[in-house]
Amino acid sequence: MTKHNSAQRSTAIGTWFSTWFKRNILNYQRALCFFAGLAMVVAYAPFSQWYLALFIPSIALFFISNAKPKAAAKLTAIFAFGWFASGISWVHVSIDQFGGLPLIASLMVMLMLCFYLAIFPALAGYLTALFSKENKLDLWLLPPFWLITEYLRASLLTGFPWLSLGYSQIDGPLAVFAPIIGEVGITALVLYINISLVKLFIAIKDNSPASTCWSASTTPLTLLLTLTVNTWYLSSVSWVKVNDKTVKVALVQGNIAQAIKWSPEQEWPTMLKYLDHARANFDADIIIWPESAIPALEPAVQDYLSTVNRSALLNNSAIITGIINYNFETKEYFNSLITLGKKHLDDQQGYYYNHSNRYSKNHLLPIGEFVPFQEWLRPIAPLFNLPMSSFTRGDYQQQNLVANEFHLLPLLCFEIAFPHQLAANLTDKTDLLLTVSNDAWFGGSHGPPQHMEIARMRALEFGRPLLRSTNNGITAVVDHKGEFIARIPQFEEAVLTTEIALVSGQTPYGQFPKLILLFLIIVPLLTVKFLQFSSTSNKKR
């Protein structure tokens, strides 16, 4: 009887301890994953502590290193939810200030977006565990699966590739890899570094004999050493050549408050403001106005556009401005860029309505520029009835804008986050990358600095100087290395003038972005699976 009671007591203690362990230790793991995700925001602009991304994810990776598929997915999702909750919290600014929703509803929309985005890293964690051998998760499989799910995140439902890991490294030593393997490749490198740290920690923790510990540490140490040597070597390599051709530019930051931007009484004061700034800077080859700088439909302001066009022609200058075009025949709106003034040196006409020297935005932003299922969503809340939220897509491939003999590859606002779209429009004649935006929707949040960070990565990947003109910041000029040449502080009305040295040639990534992505996915997958197969075969012998 005593032995029976003792056995029952031991079973009860074991059950209690098991329950306690699941409720506390596992929750402890989840909490650490969540807070590690929250801390990731500091690795990105405006904080730019790039080194944090090289070890913070290893906290979550350590906990999933022995997890089964469902547990791996759950822990990765918790990490990713914290990562997105802090990293894209700026989205809430526009929803709260301009969406017309109650606070609780706007927070719910924000949380739903974070949950959705966390699905993709969670899927990567799940696939990593699922395809590992003998139900033992192999972290080396994570980077290729992560890149697959990141591609899906950038594609499904028009895509939202914001806050990819590689962007955090624009000011770090890994940035030298961008012209070769792009931001997507740097994302893989960040993961490999974190995995190496986890492998080294496990080797030290679990392998007390020095020989065993060294054997388990060989692969991660070799990878880290190889990466260090290549980083040092690539820091002195230039993929494009600076030529003797320069261009003088003037970027106008009007600083028009979003609350009054589309007010009818502000239409002419705004247009006159931009014209005054242009007249004071006609010594520039190209003058850039931001997205929808002219707060009126293009057909309705032909007299004004003709005046600006003639002024630019007389001064041998060109102006590129954002404007909304409306096609009366098809009843379609387009978020556009048009060129006024000189196209070529012998150009005597410049702008005329519906001329071909224009660009219409292709990658529209859901809710802000088009509303999916609008017949159901528009009646729900003002969020789904924002000004200018019924645009039509322009073509995926369009001609570069030509201004004063210079060829500019344009991307409007959110489009700068899609490197494959940029690659599809890059030509040997492309002199400059141009992106214009209106980040007034996001106030003083960290959204605009992150947007600028993404733009800098595009300049580095494709080896072209970049012009970025915005309504209220960050307006900047970036060289082909992704480094600032000049910039204007946010929330100031100002004009940035500078001279830029142009370059010739193309980077490896600029020529083959899709092939490089496939290489980064397929080769590691095949390598890991081959090593797994070899290991299994050796054990059977």
Q: Which of 33, 150, 413, 453 is catalytic?
A: 413
* Three-class DSSP category at 170: coil
Which of 1, 87, 74 minimizes the C-alpha distance to 39?
Answer: 87
* Three-class DSSP category at 172: coil
Q: Is 413 a known active-site residue?
A: yes
Beta strand 286-288 with 241-253: parallel, antiparallel or unpaired? parallel
Please tell me the distance from the alpha carbon of residue 481 to that of residue 45, in angstroms, as a whole number: 17
List strands edge to edge, sheet with 358-360.
Answer: 358-360, 332-341, 318-327, 286-288, 241-253, 494-504
Beta bridge partners of 242: 503
Question: Which positions ≥6 away from 40 have C-beta within 8 Å?
Answer: 52, 53, 56, 57, 82, 83, 86, 87, 168
Q: Which of 150, 183, 291, 461 is catalytic?
A: 291
Please tell me the distance from the alpha carbon of residue 468 to that of residue 124, in angstroms, as a whole number: 34
Question: Which positions ≥6 away from 491 have C-beta within 8 Å?
Answer: 255, 444, 472, 473
Encoded tokens for 25? 């230790």
Question: Which positions ≥6 away from 439 have C-beta within 8 Å?
Answer: 447, 448, 451, 470, 471, 472, 473, 474
Q: Is 453 a known active-site residue?
A: no
- The number of residues in the chain equals 541
Which of 51, 52, 56, 42 minimizes the C-alpha distance to 87?
Answer: 42
Residue 535 φ/ψ, nearest 5 degrees = -65, -40
Q: Is 540 a known active-site residue?
A: no
Please tell me the distance from the alpha carbon of residue 370 to that of residue 389, in angstroms, as a whole number: 5
Encoded tokens for 94? 């526009």
Crossing angle of helices 69-87 and 26-39, in 10° steps, is 40
Contact between 349 and 310 under an 8 Å Cβ cutoff? The reply is: no
Please tell me the distance from the alpha carbon of residue 412 to that of residue 325, in angstroms, as a whole number: 14
Q: Which of 74, 342, 361, 481 is catalytic?
A: 361
Contact between 386 and 100 under an 8 Å Cβ cutoff? The reply is: no
Please tell me the distance from the alpha carbon of residue 159 to that of residue 456, in angstroms, as a whole number: 20
What separation, in Å, do the N-terminal and C-terminal C-alpha atoms of the chain show?
51
Which of 55, 3, 385 minimizes the C-alpha distance to 198?
Answer: 55
Encoded tokens for 285? 């080859």
Please tell me the distance from the alpha carbon of residue 256 to that of residue 469, in angstroms, as a whole number: 13
Residue 525 φ/ψ, nearest 5 degrees = -60, -50
CA distances from 315 to 164, 280, 341, 353 (A): 43, 11, 9, 21
Amino acid at site 492: E
Encoded tokens for 120? 């993709």
Find the angle CA(54)-CA(465)-CA(288) to the nearest 5 degrees: 120
Instruction: Give the residue numbers marked as catalytic.
Output: 291, 361, 413
